[in-house]
Chains A and B, each alone.
Chain A
Amino acid sequence: MTRHTTRDAPVVVLEQLRFAWQAQADTLLDIAEFSVARRERVFLRGPSGCGKTTLLNIIAAVLKPRSGLVEVDGVDLTQLTGAACDRFRADHIGLVFQQFNLLPFLSVAENVQLPCRFSALRRQRATQHGRSLMEETERLLAQMNIPAAMMHSRSVMHLSVGQQQRVAVARAMIGSPALIIADEPTSAFDSDVREAFLALLFQEVEAAGSSLLFVSHDAGLSGAFDRIVDLPQMNRASPAMVTGGV
């Protein structure tokens, strides 16, 4: 397990976390300690099925652990009600999935602005620099190298996979949430596209001052991250999956 030095109050803190799908089921996750510092870019590595997505769901306040502490941006998620979890997630977490991140019936710009429909805080932060929501959307998309002509196009299905993922990043970034979670966002990419995508992602995360939790099974991506964490190594519950240190 890697250690980190606290530069600021950490954005994610897990302590003595245990998780199982059912009360009687085997413990899937058992993590003594894990944290992500502010502005830190963490690469969470592990093979498929090792519980990466489950861990992300716990950090994103979708799943509740059986025991332990889950703190995100200074808030203890285990103490929140379901509705408060939803509000918290909408306000503080930006998500990028592997693929199919966009709603096909909304335009590119509408997809990017989607979190602002559910979170007044994100909307307020997106417009706090005197920009309108649309101007901020345009700025983010421009940063992500999405041609302005595509912004209002009727169907996001005309976009390439790379473009779709970059739009998804713009959506995760709008309103500068404290934590960006990216779950295998590059798995559908060629390696050269992958590098360019990561560069853009880092640049935006840096500019917004957010932390990044990047999950992948592909160790080849780990180069530019501040820290690399191997989940099977960290997870005491699944010794069978431990594949050794990084």
Chain B
Amino acid sequence: MFGIIWKSLRNRWLTAMLAVIGIAMSVALIMTVEKVRHDTRTSFTQTLSGTDLVVGARSGAIQLLLYSVFRIGNATNNISWDSVNDIAARPKVDWVVPLSLGDSHRGFRVLGTSQSYFTHYAYGSGRRLALADGAVFDDVFDAVIGSEVARKLGYTLGQQIVVAHGTGSVGLVKHDKQPFRVSGILAPTGTPVDQTVHVSLEGIEAMHVDWQSGMKAPGPGTSAEEIRKMDLQPREVTALLVGLKSRGTVFSEQRAINTYRAEPLLAILPGVALQELWSLVGVAESALLIVSGFVVLAGLVNLMSVLFAGLNERRREMAILRASGASPRHVFFMLSGESVLLTVMGVLLGVGLHYMVIAVGSVWAQAEFGIGLNVSLPGEGEWLILAAIFVAGLCAGLLPAWRAYSQSLSDGMMQRL
């Protein structure tokens, strides 16, 4: 029986192939959309990992997340260096990484931080920052740039860069008396780190030596040599990444920081805040999924139309089968078996196509958007989608099969030519 179905299909290979391709394309599309959706979400919610708490001046959780992790927007207030020391001294705190924001370089944010940033900052499932070239900053005027900064601006090691106060790219006052030197270039991470120029906290202080009350002091400016001899201990920072000795203490530490007496502070759990933020920006993903759902529907309607269109020209075939002893039920079985075969082939081809797209596209997606797409076995969601498509394909075949069934009942063995 299956042999007949197969041979009959092979006889009409062009229309059969078009139906299979239609299903395959829609399967590949919805699988890829689902994959990108899933991995984008994972990628996004793992922009910052390994950090237990992000601490900033008291504001909103999302706002703190936006400026400390995504370098979007500005802090309304800073944290005093005393508070930083207090938090770092807490017995349950393992490490702190201070972040100082507020300056930019040609549209890229400049982040003042300590060397501990490069040992503790993690993204994805605990991946650490790695240097593609050069070394971590050592001198006051050293800068470590993210991969995007290097790529877009064409910077290499040793490049002299001038940092501007403020965060735009035009009309800003430049700290041109204290140029920095690129000492290291980070490997791509797919996180905002790629778009950041990292300097030491002392560097941030250094570029502001000639500034008073936000205004550039007149005069020739202080030379780099003199600045190096100064005390460049920062008085305040913008935010703080905190790692705890034990994750179990995260809520008690959060409460302790939130109720800190000397200064109004806010501590957030980055994972939770990232999830919250995703639920805001992730609406588009659902729209995408709905659209791909409709594409699948179109593929199935196409399958149905191929089967229906074939019915009339196959009336003779059905009559011959009936004359050879096939019952209308055989005819029904043949038609629905055909749709199952076409759907299975479409699904298999579609899954293959999907993996090809992912394998080829992952390189590009990582480089362009920093989304880590990894080739993996279909997850539960994907299996469900595939099963649903299979069932839908079966159902799409039932209607034409029913039509053929009733046709062969009424036609009998008469050949309506």
Q: Is B130 an interface residue (CB 8 A)?
A: no
Q: Which residues of B from 186 to 202 have beta carbons under 8 Å from A?
A: none
Partner of B412, one of A63, A104, A115: A63
Q: Is B376 an interface residue (CB 8 A)?
A: no
Q: Which residues of B contact A62 (CB under 8 A)?
A: 322, 412-413
Number of interface residues of A (CB under 8 A): 30
* Complex CA distance for A118 and B321, rounded to whole angstroms: 9
* Complex CA distance for A119 and B317, rounded to whole angstroms: 18
Known contacts: A97-B415, A100-B316, A118-B330. The answer to whether A106 contacts B7 by CB under 8 A is yes
Q: Which residues of B contact A114 (CB under 8 A)?
A: 320-321, 324-325
Q: Which residues of A contact B11 (CB under 8 A)?
A: 104-105
Q: Is the CB of A60 within 8 A of B320?
A: no
Known contacts: A53-B414, A63-B412, A97-B415. The answer to whether A115 contacts B4 by CB under 8 A is no
Chain A residue nearest to B316 in the complex (CB):
A100
Q: Is the CB of B412 within 8 A of A57?
A: yes
Q: Which residues of B contact A101 (CB under 8 A)?
A: 320, 323
* Complex CA distance for A57 and B409, rounded to whole angstroms: 12
Q: Is the CB of A83 within 8 A of B325?
A: no
Partner of A106, one of B4, B323, B415: B4
Q: Is the CB of A89 within 8 A of B325?
A: yes
Partner of A103, one of B317, B325, B328, B330: B317
Q: Which residues of A contact B1 (CB under 8 A)?
A: 117
Q: Is A33 an interface residue (CB 8 A)?
A: no
Please encode chain B, from 1 to 35, with 1 for each CB lying within 8 Å of some chain A CB and 0 for all others.
Answer: 10010011011000000000000000000000000
* Complex CA distance for A6 and B321, rounded to whole angstroms: 34
Q: Is B38 an interface residue (CB 8 A)?
A: no
* Complex CA distance for A63 and B410, rounded to whole angstroms: 9
Q: Is A15 an interface residue (CB 8 A)?
A: no
Q: Is B128 an interface residue (CB 8 A)?
A: no
Known contacts: A100-B316, A105-B7, A105-B8. The answer to whether A115 contacts B324 by CB under 8 A is yes
Q: Is A141 an interface residue (CB 8 A)?
A: no
Q: Is B326 an interface residue (CB 8 A)?
A: yes
Q: Which residues of B contact A98 (CB under 8 A)?
A: 415
Q: Which residues of A from 190 to 237 have beta carbons under 8 Å from B?
A: none
Chain A residue nearest to B12 in the complex (CB):
A105
Partner of B325, one of A104, A105, A119: A119
Q: Is the CB of A57 within 8 A of B414?
A: yes
Q: Is B329 an interface residue (CB 8 A)?
A: yes
Q: Which residues of A from 144 to 167 have beta carbons under 8 Å from B?
A: none
Q: Is B327 an interface residue (CB 8 A)?
A: yes
Partner of B327, one of A53, A57, A83, A105: A83
* Complex CA distance for A47 and B154, rounded to whole angstroms: 93
Query: Shortest distance in angstroms between B17's beta carbon and chain A's nearest beta carbon?
Result: 15
Q: Is the CB of A100 within 8 A of B320?
A: yes
* Complex CA distance for A102 and B324, rounded to whole angstroms: 10
Query: Shortest distance in angstroms between A55's beta carbon and chain B's nearest beta carbon?
Result: 12
* Complex CA distance for A87 and B326, rounded to whole angstroms: 8
Q: Which residues of A contact B323 (CB under 8 A)?
A: 95, 97, 101
* Complex CA distance for A171 and B324, rounded to whole angstroms: 8
Q: Which residues of A contact B417 (CB under 8 A)?
A: 100
Query: Shortest distance in angstroms between A96's beta carbon and chain B's nearest beta carbon?
Result: 8
In the complex, the 3 A-B pairs of residues with the closest C-beta atoms, listed nearest first: A90-B325, A86-B327, A118-B325
Binding site for A on B (CB under 8 A): 1, 4, 7-8, 10-11, 316-317, 319-330, 409, 412-415, 417
Can you give 23 contacting A-B residue pairs, CB < 8 Å?
A57-B412, A60-B413, A63-B412, A82-B327, A83-B327, A83-B329, A86-B326, A86-B328, A90-B325, A90-B326, A95-B323, A95-B324, A97-B319, A98-B415, A103-B320, A103-B321, A106-B7, A114-B320, A114-B324, A114-B325, A118-B324, A118-B326, A119-B325
Interface contacts beyond A60-B412, A60-B413, A101-B320: sample of 9 additional A-B pairs, CB < 8 Å, sorted by A? A57-B413, A62-B413, A63-B412, A87-B327, A89-B325, A90-B325, A95-B324, A100-B320, A103-B321
